[in-house]
Structure 1
Amino acid sequence: MDAVTRDEPAGAGGLADELRVAVGAAEEAGALLRSRFLDAFRVETKGEDGDVVTELDLLAEELITGRLAARFPADRIRAEEGGELAGRLPARPGSRRTWLVDPLDGSNNVVVGLPAYVVGIALCVDDEPVLGVVHDPVAGRTWRAVRGEGAYGPGGRLLVAARPPGAVRPVLGWTQGHGVGGDPAARALKDGLEAGARRVLQLWAPLLTWSLLAAGLIDGFVGYRAEEIDLPAGSLLVTEAGLAVRALDGGPFSARIGQSDAARSYVACRPELLPYLLDLVARAARTG
């Protein structure tokens, strides 16, 4: 599938080739996942928090990292399951490019037969996200963004409209890092959101939630000590679609890689909802 729509800038911020390869790899991996979704496949646990890795994660990851390494051999690649993979050549002088690959975001959903999963790829330069791609194999949708060039979905450029005056309470997404467990602050924050929202969705696939927000299908997304692998692609999609992303205290938020998990907590939403959500978060913090 062609990565560039008629609405998309032809230059794609100087990353047209990177965007084409990333979209192609994500969609090829998505086709593999979709074709094997109902098959029997190997499942293993990882870590002490009950997370899982499947045979499908590994197959999709091998496909994507192979495509990226073949086309950009001097770039670093960090993959969800394989960790950091060295490029085929030494890094070019002055080149600080890192690809992040989540080959199957929603592995727990796949294990229980729930068709809610996506493929995610991001490119960071100097640790800052400059390109993000998310592909939904179930619905056949691809979202993509290049820094400074906007975000795009199946219908073209994503420009999220404001909510109508008097709209009902918002629909929010929620995610927390794998290691959070029973953190009282996380419980208080989620309870506070439940009290102020129409629905709080916990999809077990953060990149799918980021994409729904970028497309204007939900109103906000709150993360507590979120996983790093998903953050650059998701936050870039949302900011390029014109939505707001802030730290929990309302201060600036950065999706740069290499930060502590404490720095990966955020509120992302339609701009007009930001005061409301930050107030919910502040009240939850006081009760936590």
Structure 2
Amino acid sequence: MDATAPGEGARPAAFADECRTAVRAAEEAGALLRARFLDAFRVDSKGPDGDVVTELDLLAEELVTRRLSERFPADRILAEEGGTAADRPGSRRTWLVDPLDGSNNVVIGLPAYVVGIALCLDDEPVVGVVHDPVAGRTWRAVHGGGAYGPSGRLRAAARPPRAGRPVLGWTQGHGVAHDDPVARALKDGLEGGARRVLQLWAPLLTWSLLACGLIDGFVGYRAEEIDLPAGSLLATEAGLVVRALDGSGFDARIGQPDTARSYVAGRAEIVPHLLDLVARAARPAGPEGAAAWP
């Protein structure tokens, strides 16, 4: 299939097969995870920052990458645990697979995890799928074709924040140190201006809650690349706004450094409030009170 580039009038029908395949793969992997959730499974450390990888991550990843490779053998696949699961030099199409977003939750028996799959064309997200095995919910989005959840199309509706203050999500990348001064300032600033700040350890679950209106905003600092394409596409296709921390446009293309993966996201009317919160948090770090972000 000769897909059209995102900026050149891509039609939703152009990626219908890709979206269906991703949904089936995500739901099949989700059934595997749900069936094994309470079983004993192997857990290994993943780097010095306390992150983990489980046997379930690997089983779900193998399933998803196999399904994608069978259907789209010419495509490149990047998977969280396997790195480059299928390297196809010269391919314009790259799949990103997070087979178990929320591994740390699963290890402690907390049922808050999802399967995430995205397709990027020339590095820009064009398909995003998130499946929640616990609740049996699937969210999906296609560039230019809208976002959909269990109850149909997702459309951002203007409304005042709950009790006058928003409920927000927060995430930071695994490479961010626990004592990182910017992350600490951001979190403190959000806590001061929000009713509640959720840190779910599963960014794609947070993106999904945002897209369907269950939370008001989402702030990420040096977020992981594997989650961003599906999450940001789901949000923007639902009519939400995603901005860089300084208020400029957010670039969701893959292949960028983690310093380019910080954002605020929410309904259009709440984004100025979120940007004000992060700007005030940044002032001590910049000269003469100016906001400064790495």
> Which of 181, 186, 202 does residue 184 from structure 1 map onto?
181
> Which of 146, 152, 156 does residue 152 from structure 2 map onto?
156
CA–CA separation in structure 1 for the residues paired with 2:86 and 2:33: 25
Give the deviation of 1:183 after TM superposition.
Answer: 0.9
In the alignment, structure 1 residue 38 sits paired with structure 2 residue 34: no
TM-score between the two structures when normalised by the length of structure 1: 0.93
Where 1:120 maps in the other structure, the secondary structure is: strand
Give the deviation of 1:162 after TM superposition.
Answer: 1.1
Where 1:69 maps in the other structure, the secondary structure is: helix
Give the partner amino acid of 1:255. A
Where 2:269 maps in the other structure, the secondary structure is: helix
Deviations 1:83-108 (A, max 9, x none): 01225xx66x7x41000000000000
CA–CA separation in structure 2 for the residues paired with 1:55 and 1:165: 40
Give the partner amino acid of 2:61. E
Contact 1:13 1:148 (C-alpha < 8 Å) held by counterparts = no
Query: Counterpart in 2 of 1:118?
Result: 114
After superposing the two structures, state which structure 1 stretch, 182-191 or 11-20, moved more. Answer: 11-20
Contact 1:13 1:147 (C-alpha < 8 Å) held by counterparts = no
Deviations 1:121-151 (A, max 9, x none): 0000000000000000000000000001000
CA–CA separation in structure 2 for the residues paired with 1:221 and 1:12: 26
Deviations 1:163-215 (A, max 9, x none): 13885200000000001012101100010000000000000000000000000
Contact 1:188 1:287 (C-alpha < 8 Å) held by counterparts = no
Deviations 1:211-268 (A, max 9, x none): 0000000000000000000000000000000001000000010111000100000000
Give the deviation of 1:117 after TM superposition.
Answer: 0.1
> Which of 245, 249, 253 does residue 248 from structure 1 map onto?
245
> Which of 125, 128, 137 does residue 124 from structure 2 map onto?
128
In the alignment, structure 1 residue 54 sits paired with structure 2 residue 54: yes
CA–CA separation in structure 2 for the residues paired with 1:167 and 1:243: 21
Give the partner amino acid of 1:33. L
Consecutive unaligned residues of structure 2, counting only runs of 5 or more, are: 1-10, 286-294
TM-score between the two structures when normalised by the length of structure 2: 0.91
Query: Counterpart in 2 of 1:172?
Result: 168
Where 1:200 maps in the other structure, the secondary structure is: strand
Deviations 1:43-88 (A, max 9, x none): 000111000000000000000000000010010000000001225x
In the alignment, structure 1 residue 226 sits paired with structure 2 residue 253: no
CA–CA separation in structure 2 for the residues paired with 1:168 and 1:32: 41
Query: Counterpart in 1 of 2:209?
Result: 212
* Root-mean-square deviation over aligned CA pairs: 1.3
In the alignment, structure 1 residue 143 sits paired with structure 2 residue 139: yes
Give the deviation of 1:287 after TM superposition.
Answer: 3.2
Give the partner amino acid of 1:133. V
Query: Counterpart in 1 of 2:236?
Result: 239
Seq. identity, %: 81
Give the deviation of 1:12 after TM superposition.
Answer: 3.0
CA–CA separation in structure 1 for the residues paired with 2:174 and 2:182: 15
The size of the alignment, in residue pairs, is 274
CA–CA separation in structure 1 for the residues paired with 2:276 and 2:74: 45
Give the deviation of 1:161 after TM superposition.
Answer: 1.2
CA–CA separation in structure 1 for the residues paired with 2:21 and 2:115: 14
CA–CA separation in structure 2 for the residues paired with 1:283 and 1:231: 25
Consecutive unaligned residues of structure 1, counting only runs of 5 or more, are: 1-10
CA–CA separation in structure 2 for the residues paired with 1:278 and 1:236: 20
